[in-house]
Structure 1
Amino acid sequence: MTQPEPVLLSKTKNAVLTLSLNRPERLNAANDELLFALTEALKTAELDNAMRVVVITGSGRGFCAGQDLGDVQNREGSTNFTEHLRHTYIPLIQTIRGLKKPVITAVNGVAAGAGASLALSGDIRLWSEHAILIEVFSNIALIPDAGSTWMLPRLVGAARAFEMMAFAEKIGAEDGLKLGLCEQVYSAGTFVDDVQVYAERLAARPLNALALTKQAINFALGSTLDAALDNEAVLQQLAGDHAEHKEGVRAFAGKRKPDFGQF
């Protein structure tokens, strides 16, 4: 019997690529196969000029329930957590954060453990009203990984992040929006369509400028103000030399909507 693909790919004519984690019977708990497939799909998306925005979501009623512990425990000997993370989650999160295209994480249900880290890793985070985020690691006496200790404090502050992690607190959509864990919350019944509309709006924006903006933000998060200012000056030249900028100026002068999709 043929095994289902761990990640489903869906491309639309409006330049949006949707990657759906496809282990719905396990609430999309991640095993090596899924993590490798998602990382490779993202790398392929980088090279696909027809796709301008990437959406990561989950099949079924969950986004990602975190690491499939059964998959880890099936390995011989004791678990080498360091090796596992370096082999799977670290390259995945690095790929998302370094992708030269906007990445939307569309959280349709529970996002727990490493699944919470994945949910937080998007440039934009859109939640269903049924979304739940939980840093569940402390329940099994582990620390948050896959980037949560870097991402969550930057969104909610160090003390609030520690509290969420220490008590494995469940955060629903309403609180997630208040805390800044997501940018929009949509009705479960219209979630897929609402995410698509949002992604298409983003795909119509200047892709090169957005890629440089993402690069600038990533740099600034770990730099001084002076270094960030200097980096902005360098990247602004790259943006200004691009055909997108010239189109934007022409459109402004002609009082028309710019066509950034041609680049």
Structure 2
Amino acid sequence: MSFDFYNGAMSTEQCRRLAAALRYAAAQDTRVLVVRGGEVFSNGIHLNVIEAARHPELEAWMNINAINAVCREIVGCTGQLVVTSLGGNAGAGGVMMGLGADRVVVRDGVVLNPHYRTMGLFGSEFWTYVLPRRVGAEQALRLTQEALPIGAAEAVELGLADKLLVGSRLEFERRVLEYAERLAVDPGYDRLLAGRRAAREADERRKPLDAFRAEELAEMSRDMFDDQNGFRAARRAFVHKVKAEATPEHLARHRELSGASVVSGAEASHM
């Protein structure tokens, strides 16, 4: 199932259409569902549409609920094995959306930004479930707090992705389909699918998906309506392409730790 949203931004209406398409795909008599994005896989909610809305906070709230419905279709699909094909970059909720699958395949050269911090958001899309499940609680905290980009090879090393494939975009997509076809005819397919179902049922008993959703949305409501972490200004700066006045704190800290020199905002403005 393919989708292609410009620059990976997913509006409320686009998310609703995608969730409906995923429900339809999951109901078909197939063994493997491949979820494939466009030039950019996904960058989560559509900040431009939100900023342009009559009531941006309300639009943001509807958007995050709509993309959560998309993520739930992927996480909750137990009738097929699910493969996400990350042939393009992904960020924030777009990364988390992809992590809900059984297998995440990433193209060499792709960059992932598995965090929300720089936009002043706690984040949703069931990230508190899918991210620690893949990389562990400690690594999940590091990824979301450091807010640094992750390359394709590092994503596989960390467990964010399961397989890295090289080649052009067309070659990558062809190889992903071949990978999915091998999964579909794997002698152990029934065992793999049963394992997916059992794991989902066990996880649901331990802590329901609705609980993860409610906890995340409680934080997001404060971010979106009370602006507790600067979402309004960060969104406006992103949409209107406001020039940064200084190196962001998390990047400056990273460069200090890596031994690189940090250029001040005043110096950078003359470079």
TM-score using structure 1 length: 0.70
5+ residue gaps, structure 1: 1-18, 225-263
1:137 pairs with one of 95, 98, 116 = 116
CA contact (8 A) 2:34 2:82 kept: yes
CA contact (8 A) 1:30 1:65 kept: yes
Alignment of 1:101-140 (within 5 A): 101-140=80-119
Q: Partners of 2:180 and 2:91 in 1: how far apart?
A: 24
State whether structure 2 residue 75 is matched by structure 1 residue 92: no
Q: Partners of 1:159 and 1:64 in 2: how far apart?
A: 25
Name the CA shift for 1:120/1:129 in 2 (closer, same or farther; >3 Å).
same
Q: Partners of 1:118 and 1:134 in 2: how far apart?
A: 12
Alignment of 1:177-216 (within 5 A): 177-189=156-168, 190-205=171-186, 209-216=191-198
Aligned to 1:172: 151
Q: Identity percentage over the alignment?
A: 25
Aligned to 1:219: 201
Aligned to 1:8: none
Q: Partners of 2:42 and 2:72 in 1: how far apart?
A: 18
Q: Partners of 1:89 and 1:135 in 2: how far apart?
A: 16
State whether structure 2 residue 51 is matched by structure 1 residue 73: yes
Counterpart residue identity of residue 165, structure 1: T
Aligned to 1:47: 27
State whether structure 2 residue 50 is matched by structure 1 residue 57: no
How far did residue 207 of structure 1 move?
6.2
Q: Partners of 2:106 and 2:198 in 1: how far apart?
A: 25
How far did residue 82 of structure 1 move?
4.6
How far did residue 93 of structure 1 move?
1.6
Aligned to 1:162: 141
| SS in structure 2 of the partner of residue 35 of structure 1 | helix
CA contact (8 A) 2:45 2:67 kept: no
Q: Deviations over 1:184-235 (max 9, x none)?
A: 10003231121011100112247665443212011233557xxxxxxxxxxx
| SS in structure 2 of the partner of residue 79 of structure 1 | helix
| SS in structure 2 of the partner of residue 133 of structure 1 | strand
Counterpart residue identity of residue 42, structure 2: C
State whether structure 2 residue 34 is matched by structure 1 residue 27: no
5+ residue gaps, structure 2: 207-271
Q: Partners of 1:94 and 1:161 in 2: how far apart?
A: 20
Counterpart residue identity of residue 181, structure 2: E
Counterpart residue identity of residue 98, structure 1: G
How far did residue 170 of structure 1 move?
0.7
Higher relative contact order (CA 8 A, sep 6+): 2
Counterpart residue identity of residue 196, structure 2: K
* CA RMSD after TM alignment: 2.0
Counterpart residue identity of residue 136, structure 2: G
Aligned to 1:232: none
TM-score using structure 2 length: 0.68
